Amino acid sequence: MSERIAKLKRKTKETDIEMSLQLDGTGKSTVNTGIGFFNHMLEGFAKHGFFDLEINCEGDIAVDCHHTVEDCGIVLGTGIKNALGDKKGICRYGSCILPMDEVLVLCAIDLSGRPYLNFEAEFTTDRVGYLDTEMVREFFYAISYTAGMNLHIKVLNPGNNHHMIEAIFKSFARALDEATSVDPRIQDVLSTKGSL
């Protein structure tokens, strides 16, 4: 099988992003978005999904974190789609229920080609570090839309806001690792329709 890698550059008046994603990686990452807590989340995503990830984003964080977080989601989602290519042989579905101390988070993915986001999480603080908590949904919306991914994220047991967001990123990583993994029993694409 050929290497499942995507390299992207995207530049607007709000953000300038360079990204490299290797789906079959080891979990190593170099992440610089200018937002410490967001870096921490993306590094966790790479580590727990066994993805190799490089993101360098120079965004207008002097305004706020909105454009940086949203555009990183657009670029990462596009990278996932590009790296998957024709999706032959992949498991397609993936899910994970991930605990982090008192918090429990469910994530379920279908790499169906049809974007959909169901995001059920209620945060009780406006920010964690310099990340606006309302941007977590926007980030995953951008990923689901650009990757063509059906994505369900549900906080089953709420608690500390740092824990909830971190558990969301880690459960997403593990579910995506499963959905993108290759099963030798799958000869073509896993769909009676014949395409994903």
For Mn ion, the binding residues (CB under 5 A) are 166
Rounded to the nearest whole angstrom, what is the least distance from the CB of residue 176 to Mn ion in the complex? 19
Rounded to the nearest whole angstrom, what is the least distance from the CB of residue 100 to Mn ion in the complex? 8
Nearer to Mn ion, 68 or 161 (CB): 161
* Three-class DSSP category at 136: helix
Rounded to the nearest whole angstrom, what is the least distance from the CB of residue 139 to Mn ion in the complex? 16
Nearer to Mn ion, 132 or 166 (CB): 166
Rounded to the nearest whole angstrom, what is the least distance from the CB of residue 52 to Mn ion in the complex? 21
Nearest-CB residue for Mn ion: 166
- Tell me the sheet residues that pair with 10: 17
Rounded to the nearest whole angstrom, what is the least distance from the CB of residue 163 to Mn ion in the complex? 8
Ramachandran class of 87: left when φ > 0, alpha when ψ lies in -120 to 50, beta otherwise: left
Nearer to Mn ion, 52 or 166 (CB): 166
Buried b (16+ CB within 10 A) or exposed e, 25-53: bebebebebbbebbbbbbbbbbbbbbbbb
Nearer to Mn ion, 71 or 166 (CB): 166
Contact between 68 and 13 under an 8 Å Cβ cutoff? The reply is no
Nearer to Mn ion, 70 or 166 (CB): 166
Q: Give dist(CA 190, CA 196) in Å, integer.
A: 8
Contact between 97 and 156 under an 8 Å Cβ cutoff? The reply is yes
Contact between 25 and 173 under an 8 Å Cβ cutoff? The reply is no
